[in-house]
Amino acid sequence: MGKILLVCRLAARALRRRPAEAVLMLLAITAATTMLTLGLILHGVTSQPYQQTRAATNGPDVVAYLSGPTGPGEAPITGQRLQSLVQAHVTELVRAPGVTGHSGPFPLVGALVQAHGHTAGAEAEGRQGSPAAVDQPKLTQGSWVRPGGVVLERTFAEALGVRTGDRITLNGRPFRVAGIAVTAANAPYPNLCYTGAGGCSAGPNVPVSEMGLLWLTEPDARRLATAASPLAAYVENLTLQHPASAGAFASRYGGNGPGTPSLAAWQGISAADGLLVQDEQQVLNPGAWLAGLLAVASVAVLAGGRMTEETRRVGLLKAAGGTPGLVTAVLMARNLATALAAAAAGLAAGWLAAPLLTSPGAALVGTPGAPSLTWPIAGLVMAVALAITLASTLVPAIRASRTSTVGALANSARPPRRRGALIAVSARLPVPLLLGLRLIGRRTRRAVLTAASTAVTTSGLVAVLVFHATAGRAINGGGSGLNNPVYNRNEQVLVVLTVALIALASLNAVFTAWATVLDTRQPLALARSLGATPEQVSAGLSAAQLMPALPGAILGIPLGIALFKVASGGGPMTIPPAWWLAAAVLAILAAVVLLTTIPARIGARQPVAEVLQAELT
């Protein structure tokens, strides 16, 4: 029999002997690879709905925002002088090489919108009653603009909670909602000002992050102008002979200087329309790495416990002529096979779950279609699964393969490390703490893994709390109280991510507790023979998990804050109240105690005579 076939057969037999451990390892790695697949597969999924919306609305290739030159502290140019300057810019733009069509210029006025108790800012664009040749918003409800009737961009209407026929006020003037529409010429609420073009001003005390878009007739738009928010800008829509050159055109004819047209290419608007899904990616990608770290901890505990149980099998392989390399290959083959199966399951689960997260929202029409699962994505996911397995099982496998044949066949107990300081400190403690501290001393690396996994779990939970505090301040502190689609979608993703992290951390706590029970049967049985009760032994096993979990939970607080800061790209952040953080830490520690109690009680109630007799034989 060849070595490869031998390794495969021995690995298959090992998987059949311990299917439960293989399933648990499969679940741990699958959770991490599923999140990673979701984070990678969402790239570019909103491009198709944007193109469909662009075709349905005769969307522009370039949007030009035109205003007069003003210096710092100067009042904006308005009236006939502004119209003359705008007309000069329009003439230059429509006569530029490559321009094939245009519409406008349309007046743009900042408006303070009040509806259903909400207050928000908006850019009010004056339009004609007839359809425009370029950028005619597509109605999804109602009819087009008419005197006294406005049309709201769909995401903005949903945020305000208004429907066709509702009454709203703009700068104190009453209007009726005539219709609701979508457009490809502007980013949706709340990312209207993402492209950097346009005035993006609705007057004083209106944050840019709360700006929406609406259309009304040109006379109504001009009547909205106030001293605080005058008519100081116009918008012109352009189509080009070569749409792909829109970015170069915007760079050539636009600028940021006073009086220079501010141009936005359709590529930038498309990117702003995709921010809803991109925000999901920003949440999922760090979550995938957190899940990967927890998977490493879980697999490491599983692998370490399995290697301890298979010491005699290693001795038999070596006695039959197996080299340390062959033994390592046999021990690693089953883990790598499980990792590949988990990667395949994660790819399938991520691909199937992606449509739940790829909705472009109310800003676009059409559907994104099936997400693209490419070979580079599949290769990266496979590589991550193998890296998780290698990082957590290679060292135990090499250590086991280097065990002497006689020692492995004898399977004698590992002599404990004697630390004088630890013994002196623990001797003065109650029995449960004494046992717990000495168990930590025997398995220091396992205690470090427990602290690390608790820190990872706490950091994920703290990041969720920071998000809720930040979102709550942004919504309530902004004064509008609007239903923000970005916050809603991120909250849904965070809930799923938190559940997955807690599930992985729970599995890891159970793995660690059970592995500790198996490793310490003899010393705990000896402790019981010397007078320790089963309750004290059970409490000692729980304490061995709780003591390293405490510093891990505390360390998770600053890590979670830093994680949110990285995921949000350095955006605004609100630290949650101290009692939120304290409650999160206490909840995690209580969960650790609860999850380790059952394995600890099972281990503490094993008959002492049977355990010690097994040690003697």
- What is the SS3 assignment for 178? strand
- What is the SS3 assignment for 579? helix
Asked, as a colleague might, if the bond just before 105 is cis with ω within 30 of 0, I would say yes
**Tokens 């104190």, located at residue:** 172
278: part of which helix (H) or strand (E)?
helix 275-309
User: By mean pLDDT, which of 195-209, 242-256, 483-497 is the weakest?
Assistant: 195-209
Q: Which residue has the higher pLDDT, 595 or 47?
A: 595
Q: Is residue 590 part of a domain?
A: yes
Q: Do both 302 and 257 map to the same domain? A: no
Smallest Cα–Cα separation from 335: which of 290, 311, 304, 314?
A: 304
The answer to whether residue 67 scores a pLDDT higher than 70 is: yes
Domain that holds residue 176: 51-273
Q: Which residue has the higher pLDDT, 385 or 608?
A: 385
**pLDDT (0 to 100) of residue 78:** 66
Domain final residue pick, 249, 273, 297: 273
Q: Which among 48-62, 184-198, 321-335 has the top mean pLDDT?
A: 48-62
Q: Is residue 198 part of a domain?
A: yes
Smallest Cα–Cα separation from 219: which of 338, 349, 129?
A: 129
- Per-position DSSP letters for 293-330, written without gaps between them: HHHHHHHHHHHHHHHHHTHHHHHHHHHTT--HHHHHHH
The answer to whether residue 303 scores a pLDDT higher than 70 is: no
**pLDDT (0 to 100) of residue 152:** 92
**Could you read off the pLDDT of 5-43 as tens digits, one per residue?**
766 777 777 667 767 677 777 887 887 788 778 777 766
Q: How many whole angstroms separate alpha carbon 159 and alpha carbon 482?
A: 5
Which tokens in the block code for residue 314? 């290693």
Q: How many whole angstroms separate alpha carbon 534 and alpha carbon 301?
A: 25
Q: Do both 71 and 20 map to the same domain? A: no
- Per-position DSSP letters for 436-492, written without gaps between them: HHHHHHHTHHHHHHHHHHHHHHHHHHHHHHHHHHHHHHHHHHTS-----HHHHHHHH
Q: Is residue 5 part of a domain?
A: yes
Domain final residue pick, 252, 273, 294: 273
Q: Is residue 76 part of a domain?
A: yes
Q: How many whole angstroms separate alpha carbon 372 and alpha carbon 40?
A: 10
Q: Do both 176 and 204 map to the same domain? A: yes
Residue 358, φ and ψ in degrees, nearest 5: -95, 10
**pLDDT (0 to 100) of residue 42:** 66
**Could you read off the pLDDT of 539-550 as tens digits, one per residue?**
888 888 888 889
**Could you read off the pLDDT of 349-374 as tens digits, one per residue?**
888 877 766 666 666 776 655 566 77
Smallest Cα–Cα separation from 15: which of 317, 330, 272, 238?
A: 330
Smallest Cα–Cα separation from 300: which of 521, 452, 461?
A: 452
What proportions of the chain, in percent to the nearest 5, are helix, strand and coil? 60, 10, 25
Q: Do both 75 and 57 map to the same domain? A: yes
Grade residue 562 by pLDDT with cuts at 50, 70 and 90.
confident
Q: Do both 188 and 304 map to the same domain? A: no
Q: Is residue 367 part of a domain?
A: no
**Could you read off the pLDDT of 79-106 as tens digits, one per residue?**
677 777 888 888 888 888 988 999 978 9
The answer to whether residue 49 scores a pLDDT higher than 80 is: no
Domain final residue pick, 233, 249, 273: 273
Give me the number of domains the chain comprises. 3
Q: Is residue 20 part of a domain?
A: yes
Terminal CA-CA length for the chain: 35
Q: How many whole angstroms separate alpha carbon 436 and alpha carbon 103?
A: 76
Q: Which residue has the higher pLDDT, 318 or 591?
A: 591
> Do 308 and 518 meet the contact criterion of CB atoms below 8 Å apart?
yes
Q: Do both 575 and 587 map to the same domain? A: yes
Average pLDDT, the chain: 77
The answer to whether residue 499 scores a pLDDT higher than 80 is: no
Q: Do both 216 and 292 map to the same domain? A: no
Q: Which residue has the higher pLDDT, 191 or 382?
A: 382
The answer to whether residue 268 scores a pLDDT higher than 80 is: yes
Average pLDDT over residues 387-398: 76
Angle at 182 between CA 181 and CA 188, to 5 degrees: 120
Average pLDDT over residues 36-54: 71
Q: Is residue 365 part of a domain?
A: no
Grade residue 175 by pLDDT with cuts at 50, 70 and 90.
very high
Q: Which residue has the higher pLDDT, 465 or 181?
A: 181
Smallest Cα–Cα separation from 30: which of 477, 347, 437, 335?
A: 347
**pLDDT (0 to 100) of residue 196:** 46
The answer to whether residue 204 scores a pLDDT higher than 70 is: no
Smallest Cα–Cα separation from 467: which of 553, 567, 361?
A: 567
**pLDDT (0 to 100) of residue 614:** 58
The answer to whether residue 205 scores a pLDDT higher than 60 is: no
- Per-position DSSP letters for 83-95, written without gaps between them: HHHHHHHHHHHHT
**Could you read off the pLDDT of 73-83 as tens digits, one per residue?**
555 666 677 77
Q: Do both 432 and 551 map to the same domain? A: yes
User: By mean pLDDT, which of 55-59, 301-305, 424-428, 544-548 is the weakest?
Assistant: 301-305
Question: Which residue pairs from 516-519 have beta carbons closer than 8 angstroms and sit at least 24 positions apart in sequence?
Answer: 516/439, 516/443, 516/446, 516/541, 516/544, 516/545, 516/603, 517/541, 517/599, 517/600, 517/602, 517/603, 518/305, 518/308, 518/309, 518/603, 519/305, 519/308, 519/442, 519/443
Q: Do both 303 and 250 map to the same domain? A: no
Q: Do both 222 and 138 map to the same domain? A: yes
Q: Is residue 339 part of a domain?
A: yes
**Residue % of the chain over a pLDDT of 90:** 8
Grade residue 312 by pLDDT with cuts at 50, 70 and 90.
low
Q: Do both 140 and 164 map to the same domain? A: yes
Which tokens in the block code for residue 398? 């090499």
Q: Do both 434 and 402 map to the same domain? A: no
